[in-house]
Amino acid sequence: MTPSDPEPDRAAQSAKPLTILIGADTYPPHVNGAAQFGYRLAKGMTARGHNVHVLASRSEKGKSYSEFRPEATVHRLRSHSVPTHPYFRVVFPWEIKKEISLLFDRVRPDVVHIQSHYMIGEHVLYEAVRRGIRVIATNHFMPENLNPFLPFPQWFKDIVGRVSWKDMGKVMGQANVVTTPTPLAAKAMRDHAFLHKVIPLSNGIDAHAYELRPSEQVNRNPWPTVLFAGRLAEEKNVDVLIDAVAKLPAQLDVHLEIVGDGEIRHRLDAQVARLGLGGRVRFLGLASDEELREAYLRADVFCMPGTAELQSLVTLEAMSASTPVVLADAMALPHLVRDGDNGFLFRPNDREDLASKIGAILELPEAERLAMGKVSHEMVQKHSIKYTLDTFEALYRGADTIPSHI
């Protein structure tokens, strides 16, 4: 080896484990797509030999602390509840700025990856920029996600939305690389936050985790079953799905399983009782990974009626379980449907149209319905978590675009 030959040095650099700091404004035990992505990212990077730290808020009162978890070292900041949300908590800049600075001194990250432009993400980014540390910024949110928790008239919510977009541009514009899960979200960020270089990069799933294992059998329900999984929140429009099930022909005997919990659960319980659907709608609550997997596998149709989905990991998981889908024609969901091939899109909030599309699938001969599910499974393969982790690892090491070899 001669000093003029740099290849061994480059190879050593690319193999060197990194110290990664993930700034997450929402993280488990929170139940939402952004929190799950942060967890899977930490777990995946730790499995690759990197030293991963996560900075997130506490989920209850108390002082800041650190905990050693299988997926990462998680540093929990003191936080405060908000009256309009059941679990989301806020941190105050004057309480956390010094703690963030001290954490940087202790952890000495090679790269920082923020998951939003809000409180924790914002101040982690500022500290990294001040120290000249590489920053990757991923946006999982749309300002519309905040609307159900703002007790203000719509005109004021519109102002909050414009300010939020402006703040996103101000904060994430300082990152070395900006990503978001879908091309549609990237376009929205260009149009409203004026972030002109945004990389669409799927959150990724372990597509094989939801396939039937060799010789495995899952007991299907004796009746046609529609499945919803996710937070029971305003923007998910689960009430529209319940109404649609009520409108389906009685002879189909369609049942609905709902996995998840959230702030509107009591309203949905009351709606089910009012419609006399108590025997056909089951609330399964928060489910373990295995329970959710089994729910995907026994469902005949998966439905996501939400209108603020940046990607919808649960839809991708259902598709990987070879399930036909009926999705709202809104935000990123149209990217997950080849209309008539793996399912249908329906007009958002249109109960009649949703009932019609669900019925169209459930009335198909079984062979045709299974063929639809097979197309779902084929479509989801490009959302492999391995591809996502490979790409982020390359971005952490200095790439500014998705390398061609990935």
With 0-12 CB in 10 A as exposed, 13-18 as middle and 19+ as buried, what is 356?
middle
Same domain, 219 and 185: no
CA dist 347 and 341 (Å) reads: 18
Q: Average pLDDT in the 221-229 region?
A: 96
Nearest Cα to Cα of residue 44 among 17, 71, 18: 71
- In this structure, of 26-40, 75-89, 120-134, 279-293, the range with the lowest mean pLDDT score is 75-89
Question: How confident is the model at residue 3, as a pLDDT?
Answer: 44
Query: Which CA distances in Å does 334 have to 122, 291, 304, 311, 345?
Result: 31, 27, 11, 10, 7
Higher-pLDDT residue of 95 and 148 is 95
- Residue 375 falls inside a structural domain: yes
Same domain, 222 and 362: yes
- Residue 403 falls inside a structural domain: no
Same domain, 337 and 388: no
Same domain, 183 and 252: no
Nearest Cα to Cα of residue 358 among 318, 335, 327, 314: 327
pTM of the model: 0.74
The mean predicted confidence, pLDDT, of the chain is 90
Q: Which residues contact 222 (CB under 8 A, 6 or more apart)?
A: none
Domain of residue 92 covers 7-204+384-396
39-74 pLDDT, tens digit per residue, is 999 999 999 999 999 999 998 889 999 999 999 999
Sheet of 281-285: strands edge to edge?
281-285, 255-259, 225-229, 301-304, 325-328, 343-346
Question: How confident is the model at residue 167, as a pLDDT?
Answer: 93
- Rg over alpha carbons for the chain, rounded to the nearest Å, is 22
CA dist 196 and 189 (Å) reads: 8
- Residue 97 falls inside a structural domain: yes
Same domain, 215 and 168: no
- Residue 404 falls inside a structural domain: no
Count of domains observed in the chain:
2
CATH of the domain at 138: 3.40.50.2000
- Residue 56 falls inside a structural domain: yes
Same domain, 178 and 263: no
- Residue 377 falls inside a structural domain: yes
Same domain, 79 and 215: no
CA dist 44 and 72 (Å) reads: 10
CA dist 56 and 231 (Å) reads: 20
Token readout for 98 is 């010094």
Same domain, 259 and 174: no
Same domain, 345 and 248: yes
- Residue 128 falls inside a structural domain: yes
Token readout for 93 is 């800049």
Same domain, 118 and 234: no
Question: How confident is the model at residue 5, as a pLDDT?
Answer: 45
Same domain, 183 and 253: no
Query: Which CA distances in Å does 342 have to 186, 229, 294?
Result: 25, 18, 20
Please measure the distance between the N-terminal and C-terminal CA atoms of the chain and give it in whole angstroms: 29
CA dist 265 and 271 (Å) reads: 10
CA dist 278 and 171 (Å) reads: 48
Q: How many C-beta atoms lie closer than 10 Å to residue 289's C-beta?
A: 10
357-387 pLDDT, tens digit per residue, is 999 999 999 999 999 999 999 999 888 899 9
In the chain, the percentage of residues whose pLDDT exceeds 70 is 93
Report residue 151's pLDDT band, with 50, 70 and 90 as the boundaries: low
366-403 burial code (b ≥16 CB/10 A, e <16)? eeebeebbebbbebbeebbbebbbbbbbbbbeebeebe
Examine the pLDDT at 227 and tell me if it is beyond 70: yes
CA dist 276 and 246 (Å) reads: 9
Q: Report the sign of the C-alpha dihedral through residues 380, 381, 386, 388, in that order.
A: negative
- Residue 1 falls inside a structural domain: no
Same domain, 148 and 228: no
